[in-house]
Amino acid sequence: MMPMSDKTVVLTKESSEPKPAAAGPGSYLVEVSLKPDFTDAEGLSAQWLLHCAGLPARGVRVGRLYDLRGPLNLGHVHVAARELLCDCVTQEFRICHSSGASPHNGCLWCVEVWLKPTVTDTVGESVRAALHDLGIPDVSVRCGMSYHIAGKCGRHQLDKAVARSLANPIVHRFTLGEAH
């Protein structure tokens, strides 16, 4: 079986949730997560935090999100993901173009947590500088986290648990989406 890092899923389904990546060419959302064979310690920690907030999640997988905007093409994004954003031994990546919904890997819920636009994203600035060093055109980069949560709960219950445990409402915004 070919590792996910050697192939890319480019999604173009419209989502009802707003995504940070703007529609149009040059806007890509890259999600980097551990391969299924590896224990997700961050996911176990997030599951425990959600449990403490009153949400009985059966499992949580965590991923890193990179919103790249600028004079990019899919080739640039592949190089960025393989050479900088992803450790291809333990991680895999997915590229979503425009307002595509990210895959949910069979989970019931997907939560994306982003810094608010008014908050400085120092990790994004570091990634931007590293991309420039790779010869990729100057782009803007925002970083976030994705949580793929398995467990039956209502949207309101999940919203409250995420606001109390996975996001700080003062500096973060988050979106919830049901897996299909």
d(CA 121, CA 142) in angstroms, rounded, equals: 6
Q: What burial class does residue 79 get, using C-beta atoms within 10 Å of its C-beta: 0-12 exposed, 13-18 middle, 19+ buried? A: middle
pLDDT in tens, 119-162: 999 999 999 999 999 999 899 999 999 999 998 888 899 999 99
pLDDT in tens, 67-111: 999 999 999 999 999 999 999 999 999 998 644 444 444 458 999
List the one residue out of 62, 48, 171 whose CA is nearest residue 112: 62
d(CA 139, CA 69) in angstroms, rounded, equals: 5
**The domain over range 4-178 is classified in CATH as 3.30.1280.10:** yes
Q: Could you tell me the pTM of the whole model?
A: 0.81
Count CB-CB contacts under 10 A for residue 82: 14
